């Protein structure tokens, strides 16, 4: 059997195994609390540990106390022995001599080494352990021996013998007994050749079980029969370390008022600061990717001199959401299949009456060079409450307010939630977030819109843009915005835009030469592209993995 004392020098020893150290230390704490309580003196700080301990089942408590006492005994044995002796040569022998579980000695040595009470050097030994088959023979005897016992002096027929032993044992037993020349395999009968035999195999197995050494030929034979397998045994040789003391000192973590008053502070040993310890991961304060992208986009708008519009109302009237935007009352988007209408309160209470009249008129018969839609505009339809389907409802309210004062140019933006009664799929939910920007000034043209869009989208990292004519009831001309995606190698639709119609602006009271250019896009689309999410349900809603929210990367738009 090999006995190796490894050359690792003590300093090169791996750092103490933290998890073992932790369990050892926490077991100590629990143990100390138990003992402290038993001896009647109480410690305030131990109360939390004690209450945890008292919530455990009686069995768990017993096993903790047993383990604690075991570890304490093992620690006393190691430190006590080193007080009068230079070295523990072999932790295995040391444990066996004292009847202590070797694992406990190993744990204690690791922990003591961590605090440099002891220095330890690894010892590795190749040992042999019994296989399941080996264990069976160590108790029942080897098959060949069982065979001899089963043969009566007058011999026995093959069939009968097989019946007695069972086919598998019989097969092995015959082969081995024949090899040993123990039996005569006659045609009719099997009979003994020898009278007294010793079950050597069983004895060797028992020796191995008890940790005794056996000759190399025997090892070979037992290994060939798969009755034993090699196993590496690990232990230590242990010496006093630089911080050796016969008893572990209690190190103090906090300096208290009592320490000062009693003068103890002069003697107390303080626990060293661990500057490399990692802090606890923060549980709170993580931002959802949508919030990160929103913050960046807000910053872009602010850099461009835009003011944020107040979007704090999910519930809107049909009037502001549709009518004020010159969206006719028969428009399919105003159907309950597309829009969520409110049951309670189902209608709005207050609308600016004179403005309502002008809106009614522009829908019914036109004005300001428009022919209108020529239908019966119904107030009840305009009163219906709904969950806003776009943030353009907010833009409309803001432009109306602007029109009530002497005109001044404005740049406004909003980013908030909107709702649509849509079939949900990988890329659509019934709610999402819209980003909207508008510029209101005298003499604006489509070129201004295109220029602002280039400025805005290039700040998002989208430098190549294309525009396609489109239709919105409230803009003319209208353009869909496409951006070339270098990763996807194709043009992707990124937004919608246009110049607000005079039919929308003039009834509000804005001067005739004032134009408004505006655009809108979803917050989800760029966020999904940026964070590599291809199913919207992984980004928003109850199926979102909380890990995504804790671990997602920071967002810097426009920087590759």
Burial 318-329 (b: 16+ CB within 10 A, else e): bbbbbbbbbbeb
Nearer to ligand PHE, 289 or 498 (CB): 498
Q: Are 112 and 105 in contact (CB under 8 A)?
A: no
Full 3-state SS string of 98-156:
HCCCHHHHHHHHHHHHHCCCEEEEEEEEEEEEECHHHHHHHHHCCHHHHHHHHCCCCCE
Closer by beta carbon to ligand PHE, 519 or else 540: 519
Q: Which is nearer to ligand PHE, 205 or 300 (CB)?
A: 300
Answer yes or no: are the C-beta atoms of 395 and 518 closer than 8 Å.
yes
Sheet holding 118-130, edge to edge: 3-5, 118-130, 228-240, 87-88
Instruction: Specify the 3-state DSSP secondary structure of 517.
Output: strand
Measured from the CB atom, is 400 or 519 closer to ligand PHE? 519
How many Cβ atoms are within 10 Å of 261's Cβ, its own excluded?
9
Q: Least distance in Å: CB of 490 to ligand PHE?
A: 21
Minimum Å gap between C-beta 413 and ligand PHE is 11
As measured in angstroms, the least distance from the Cβ of 273 to ligand PHE is: 57
- What's the CA gap between 531 and 555, in Å, rounded? 9
What are the tokens at 123? 């010892």
Residue 436 CB, nearest approach to ligand PHE (Å):
5
Provide the CA 370 distance to its chain's centre, in angstroms: 60
Write out the residues near ligand PHE by the rule CB under 6 A.
390, 392, 436, 472, 475, 496-498, 518-520
| Strands 514-522 and 490-500, sheet pairing | antiparallel
Cis status of the peptide bond prior to 425, with omega within 30 of 0: no
Provide the token pair at 324.
Answer: 């004020």
* Contact by Cβ (8 Å): 459, 468: no
Nearest residue to ligand PHE on Cβ basis: 520
- 107 vs 475 by CB, closer to ligand PHE: 475
Nearer to ligand PHE, 114 or 520 (CB): 520
Q: Min. distance of Cβ 498 from ligand PHE in angstroms?
A: 4
| Nearer to ligand PHE (CB atom), residue 142 or residue 327 | 327
The smaller minimum CB distance to ligand PHE, of residues 43 and 308, is found at 308
The answer to whether the CB of 524 falls within 8 A of the CB of 539 is yes
For the CB of residue 390, give the shortest distance to ligand PHE in the complex, in Å: 4
Least distance (Å) between residue 328 CB and ligand PHE: 16
Residue 392: CB minimum distance to ligand PHE, A: 4
């Amino acid at each position: 059997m090999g006995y190796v004392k490894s050359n690792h020098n003590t300093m090169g020893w791996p750092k103490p195994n933290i998890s073992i150290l932790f369990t050892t230390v926490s077991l100590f704490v629990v143990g100390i609390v138990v003992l402290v309580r038993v001896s009647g003196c109480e410690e305030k700080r131990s109360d939390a540990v004690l209450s945890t301990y008292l919530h455990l089942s009686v069995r768990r408590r017993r096993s903790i106390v047993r383990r604690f006492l075991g570890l304490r005994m093992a620690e006393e044995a190691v430190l006590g022995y080193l007080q009068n002796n230079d070295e523990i040569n072999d932790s295995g022998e040391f444990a066996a001599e004292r009847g202590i579980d070797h694992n406990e000695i190993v744990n204690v040595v690791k922990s003591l080494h961590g605090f440099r009470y002891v220095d330890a050097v690894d010892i590795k030994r190749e040992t042999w352990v019994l296989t399941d088959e080996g264990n069976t023979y160590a108790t029942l005897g080897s098959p060949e021996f069982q065979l001899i016992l089963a043969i009566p002096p007058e011999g026995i027929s093959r069939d009968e013998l097989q019946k007695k032993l069972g086919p598998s044992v019989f097969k092995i037993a015959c082969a081995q007994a024949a090899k040993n020349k123990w039996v005569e395999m006659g045609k009719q009968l099997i009979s003994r050749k020898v009278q007294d035999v010793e079950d050597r195999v069983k004895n060797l197995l028992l020796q191995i079980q008890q940790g005794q050494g056996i000759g190399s030929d025997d090892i070979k034979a037992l290994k060939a029969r798969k009755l034993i397998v090699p196993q590496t045994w690990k232990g230590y040789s242990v010496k006093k370390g630089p911080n050796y003391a016969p008893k572990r000192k209690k190190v103090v973590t906090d300096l208290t008022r009592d320490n000062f008053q009693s003068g103890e502070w002069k003697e107390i040993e303080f626990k060293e600061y661990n500057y490399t310890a990692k802090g606890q991961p923060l549980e709170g304060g993580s931002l959802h990717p949508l919030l990160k992208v929103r913050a960046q986009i807000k910053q872009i708008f602010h850099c461009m001199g835009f003011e944020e519009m107040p979007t704090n109302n999910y519930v809107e009237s049909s009037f502001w959401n549709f009518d004020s935007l010159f969206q006719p009352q028969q428009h399919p988007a105003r159907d309950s299949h597309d829009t969520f209408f409110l049951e309670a309160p189902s209608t709005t209470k207050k609308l600016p009456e004179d403005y309502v009249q002008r809106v009614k008129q522009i829908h019914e018969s036109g004005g300001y060079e428009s022919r209108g839609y020529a239908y019966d505009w119904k107030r009840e339809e305009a009163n219906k409450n709904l969950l806003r389907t776009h943030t353009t409802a907010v833009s409309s309210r803001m432009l109306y307010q602007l029109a009530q004062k002497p005109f001044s140019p404005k740049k406004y933006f909003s980013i908030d939630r909107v709702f649509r009664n849509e079939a949900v799929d990988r890329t659509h939910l019934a709610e999402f977030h819209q980003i909207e920007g508008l510029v209101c000034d005298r003499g604006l043209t489509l070129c201004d819109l295109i220029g602002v869009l280039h400025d805005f989208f290039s700040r998002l990292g989208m430098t190549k843009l294309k525009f396609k004519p489109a239709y919105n009831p409230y803009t003319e001309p209208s353009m869909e915005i496409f951006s070339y995606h270098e990763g996807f190698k194709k043009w992707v639709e990124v937004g919608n835009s246009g110049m607000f119609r005079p039919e929308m602006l003039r009834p509000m009271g804005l001067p005739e030469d004032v134009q408004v250019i505006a655009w809108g896009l979803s917050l989800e689309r760029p966020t999904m592209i940026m964070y590599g999410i291809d199913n919207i349900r992984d980004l928003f809603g109850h199926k979102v993995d909380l890990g995504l929210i804790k671990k997602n990367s920071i967002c810097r738009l426009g920087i590759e």
